[in-house]
Structure 1
Amino acid sequence: MDGHDADDPKQSTADMTAFVQNLLQQMQSRFQTMSDSIITKIDEMGNRIDELEQSINDLRTEMGVEGSPSPSAPSKSNIEPKSADDSTNE
């Protein structure tokens, strides 16, 4: 029995090492799968944003607003300081 007991810790260590290696391989595989999934979803989101941007540009073209800037607030604010500057310069 003593000889069997001496082999058991070595076998236990080898089993534990194999278990840990297998576990690490499974984790690496799962992380790779998740990473691929995330990258795919980011690519899909980018494509959808591009399509949305194109749709917005198409709508702007149909409305005939292509030449004007999209936010109206900056153009109004640009006019107001000019009138203030004009009155200051006079």
Structure 2
Amino acid sequence: MDGHDSEDPKQSTADMTAFVQNLLQQMQSRFQTMSDSIITKIDEMGSRIDELEQSIDDLRAEMGVEGTPPPASKSSDEPKTPAGST
């Protein structure tokens, strides 16, 4: 029984070491998954911002072509100009 008792602490230490290593590997895997997800979302956000900037540039170009005379200052005085607002 003495031999068996002396192996229990060694076995328990080995089990604890294996448990901790497994736990650390799981944590690393989860952090990697979260990191990849965050990077993907940041890339998607960057693409959306690029699309938004392009849309704004397109709208500015359309307004520059269609609204050469500045009706914005007169639109508050004359709200009956829907052609300039649309």
Range of TM-score over shorter length: 0.7 to 0.9
What's the counterpart of residue 2 of structure 2? 2
Structure 1: gaps spanning 5 or more residues? 66-90
Higher relative contact order (CA 8 A, sep 6+): 2
Distance 1:64 1:9 in 2: 81
Q: Distance in 2 between matches of 1:37 and 1:30?
A: 10
* Superposed structure 1 runs of 4+ greater than 6 Å apart: none
Residues 47-58 of structure 1 mapped to structure 2, 5 A cutoff: 47-58=47-58
Q: Which whole-Å deviations, capped at 9, do the CAs of 1:36-86 have from their partners, x for residues lacking one?
A: 000000000000000000000000000117xxxxxxxxxxxxxxxxxxxxx
Q: Number of matched residues?
A: 65
With the length of structure 1 as denominator, give the TM-score of the two structures: 0.70
Counterpart-to-counterpart distance in 2, 1:41 and 1:5: 54
Q: Which amino acid aligns with 1:26?
A: Q
* Paired position in structure 2 for 1:34: 34
What is the percent sequence identity of the aligned residues? 92
Counterpart CA distance in 2 for 1:64 and 1:3 is 91
Q: CA deviation at 1:3?
A: 1.2
Structure with a larger share of its residues in helix = 1
TM (normalized to structure 2)? Answer: 0.73
- Over the residues paired in the alignment, what is the CA RMSD in angstroms? 1.0
Q: List alignment gaps of at least 5 residues for structure 2.
A: 66-86
